[in-house]
Amino acid sequence: MSGSTTIKDIKKAQKERLLLREISQLFTKASIDDSRLNGIFVNRVALSPDKGLCYVYFYTAAGKSAFDEKLEILKLYKPSLRSALAKAISSRYMPDLLFKFDDIYEKEAKINELLDQLKVEGEL
C-alpha cells in the first residue's frame, strides 16, 4: 500500500460509501412520500475522524436558501433515518447525522468563471 493510505482510511471510505448508498435510498423513499423534499438530493457523506458524526451533504439547484427552508423538515426525518440505517447496516454503532448544504457546485462554478475571466484577459 502507499505510504499515506492506511487500512483505517480504506475502512472509513468503505463505510462512507455504504452510508451514502443507504441514506440515498432511504431519502428517495422519503421524498416520494413527502413532496416538500422534492428538488433536494443527497450529494455525499463524510464521517468525522472518530466516526461518531456523519455529515450528510445535500444539494439543490435552488441554492442554500432553499436548503435552509427544508432543513427543519429534514431534521424531522433524522430519528427514523438513523433507525432505518441501523437496521440496514450491521455496525457496532450508528453515527449521529448532521445535515449540511453542499456548496461544491457553487465553488466549482466560481472557479470556472475566474478561469474563463483569466483566459479572456490573456493571463492563462
pLDDT in tens, 92-103: 889 999 999 998
> What is the set of domains in the chain, with CATH numbers?
7-121 (3.30.300.20)
85, pLDDT greater than 70: yes
Strand pairing category for 96-101 and 53-59? parallel
Q: Which tops the pLDDT comparison, 118 or 22?
A: 22
**What does the alpha-carbon distance between residue 117 and residue 5 come to, in Å, rounded to a whole number?**
37
Q: What's the average model confidence in pLDDT over 65-78?
A: 94
Classify 2 in phi/psi space as left (phi over 0), alpha (psi -120 to 50) or beta: beta
pTM score, whole prediction: 0.84
pLDDT in tens, 3-56: 578 988 899 999 999 999 999 999 999 999 999 999 999 999 999 999 999 999
